[in-house]
Amino acid sequence: MTYQETINYLFTSAPLFQNVGGDAYKEGLYNTYQLDEHFGHPHQHYKTIHVAGTNGKGSCSHTLAAILQASGLKVGLFTSPHLVDFRERIRVNGEMVSDQYVIDFVEQHRAFFEPLHPSFFELTTAMAFKFFAEQHVDVAVVEVGLGGRLDCTNIISPEVCVITNISFDHVAFLGNTLAKIAGEKAGIIKPHTPVVIGEVVKETKPVFMAKAQEENAPIFFAEEQKEVINHRFSSKGGISYQTANYGKIYGKLGGYCQQKNANTILCAISRLKEQHFHISDEDVKEGFAHVCEMTGLMGRWQTLQTSPRVICDTGHNVGGFRWITKQLNNVHAPMRIVFGMVNDKDISGVLSLMPQRATYYFCQASVKRALSHEDIKRKAEAFGLKGMSYPTVAQAYRAALADAQPEDFIYVGGSSFVVADLLSEF
């Protein structure tokens, strides 16, 4: 098979959550253990860091990987979903897994895994763990796919666990209260393993404390550590942080939510240093400043052009949009918003936060879960949001660009898949 034939095979023969949603979700770790046994437990050949949470886990995972790369380590990075190319999910020192590796993995092992009927994510996780072992990485930063307790990444024994925050998302699988969702995310906490909790609310803190006590795991609440003393938004588009232990740091990522992520990351770095990782202040600064170049991170308040200014962001739930809309409300230029969502999110909750003064270009991402552009336009009108609808992201974006003056501001988002379609255009 060619690479494209191989990717099509993976997308069609193994259920892909980003396309079909709940039908792709497989509860339990039976398939994961079978795959792990078949490949010789590859994750046991390198150190790992496990990152879970509702929002921010992608930014935290990439930044941690960048800092570890700066310290001279060979670093694997496993994240999801991908935006443009499947291979974004599996990287070593920022370089994506090769086309040929993906082809060979499927051709050489399909006779074993086809009878298992694994999900797409189960298969991808096995591929990543095997690739990292063969590349002889020193450490791999592993982002949880969904939840934690029953996520197929949860077979690793990490050096440090990180849980960024908890808000409502994937409630059909993780529970309909913050405490239930926290219980699922807390499932990554391992015996005697330090765990960093980025943010808590009154419903979630007792859950994390109880699980950490059960596992005899040292627990650190980043908000109480106060690594970030203050911050200001830089004219370069990022954020300048004054920190307690690392001096002044410039962060490339400029979204309002990144101030919370930065505090979480720095707390995690302190735990890694206690675990005998040799990370200097300069390594930390290098990772924060060059995370996108070092790891290939895309879609986090990313500037695509400056006249008119075009920003895209992968935030896709109420927790994420509380930060995004706060940032949009501080934009004083005429605003045009290209917007779409998938059908298993709290659409009304997000629409209620969106700025009414903007002109909207409602659109439909190219995944089966995408809410139709007519439906989202109709739902948005109930919240006073006005605009036209378009059957594709590209058409909506081109319309916004054609209508915009050089001084206008265009935001593209609502779903990772809207951003993915936009970046594919670029």
Q: Which DSSP string do the residues of 45-79 spell out, in sequence order?
A: GSEEEEEE-SSSHHHHHHHHHHHHHHTT--EEEE-
Look at residues 124, 138, 56 and name the one whose alpha carbon lies nearest to residue 90. Answer: 124
282-332 pLDDT, tens digit each? 999 999 999 999 999 999 999 999 999 999 999 988 988 999 999 999 999
Given this model, what pLDDT does residue 231 score? 94
pLDDT digits (tens, 9 = 90+) for 393-410: 999 999 999 999 999 999
Q: Which two tokens stand for residue 82?
A: 């991908």
Summarize the confidence of residues 83-100 as an average pLDDT.
97
Taking only Cα atoms into account, the Rg of the chain, rounded to an integer number of angstroms, comes to 21
Task: Judge whether residue 20 has pLDDT over 50.
Answer: no
CA 217 to CA 1: how far, in whole Å? Answer: 46
Instruction: State mean pLDDT over 370-383.
Output: 96
- Can you say how many angstroms the Cα of residue 144 is from the centroid of all Cα atoms in its chain? 9
Please report the pLDDT score of residue 23 as a whole number: 47
Q: Which two tokens stand for residue 405?
A: 């003056």
**pLDDT for 27:** 61
What does the pLDDT read at residue 319?
Answer: 85
pLDDT of 236: 74
For 130-171, how does the pLDDT look when each residue is reduced to its tens digit (9 = 90+)? 999 999 999 999 999 987 888 999 999 999 999 999 876 544
pLDDT surpasses 60 at 108: yes
| 3-state secondary structure at position 41 | coil
DSSP string, 230-268: EEEE-TTSSEEEEESSS-EEEES---TTHHHHHHHHHHH
Q: d(Cα 371, Cα 94) in Å, to the nearest integer?
A: 33
Q: What pLDDT band is residue 15 in, cutting at 50, 70 and 90?
A: low
> What angle is formed at CA 119 by the lines to CA 114 and CA 123, rounded to 5 degrees?
70
Taken in order of first residue, the domains within the chain and their CATH numbers are 3-295 (3.40.1190.10), 302-425 (3.90.190.20)
Mean pLDDT rounded to a whole number for the chain: 92
Q: How far apart are CA 137 and CA 102, in angstroms?
A: 18
pLDDT at 19 over 70: no
Residue 129 CA to its chain's centroid (Å): 18
pLDDT on residue 87: 97
* Per-residue pLDDT tens over the stretch 25-50: 456 799 999 999 999 999 999 999 99
Confidence of residue 176 (pLDDT cuts 50, 70, 90): low
CA distance 147 to 135: 28
Query: Quick one: which of 248, 288, 236, 282 has its CA closest to 265?
Result: 288
Q: Is the peptide bond before 15 cis (omega within 30 degrees of 0)?
A: no
H-only helix segments in 93-141: 99-113, 120-134
pLDDT at 81 over 50: yes
pLDDT-derived band at 342 (thresholds 50, 70, 90) equals very high
pLDDT of residue 24: 42
Percent pLDDT > 70 in the chain is 95
**Mean pLDDT (whole number) for 343-359:** 93
- In our burial notation (b when 16+ CB lie closer than 10 A, e otherwise), range 297-329 reads bbbbbbeeeeebbbbbbbbbbbbbbbbbbebbe
177 in Cβ contact with 155 (< 8 Å):
no
What is the per-residue pLDDT for 124?
A: 95
Burial class of residue 345 (count of CB atoms within 10 Å of its CB; 0-12, 13-18, 19+):
buried
Residue among 219, 205, 300 nearest 258 (CA): 300
Say yes or no to pLDDT of 175 above 70.
no
Residue 70 has pLDDT above 90, yes or no: yes
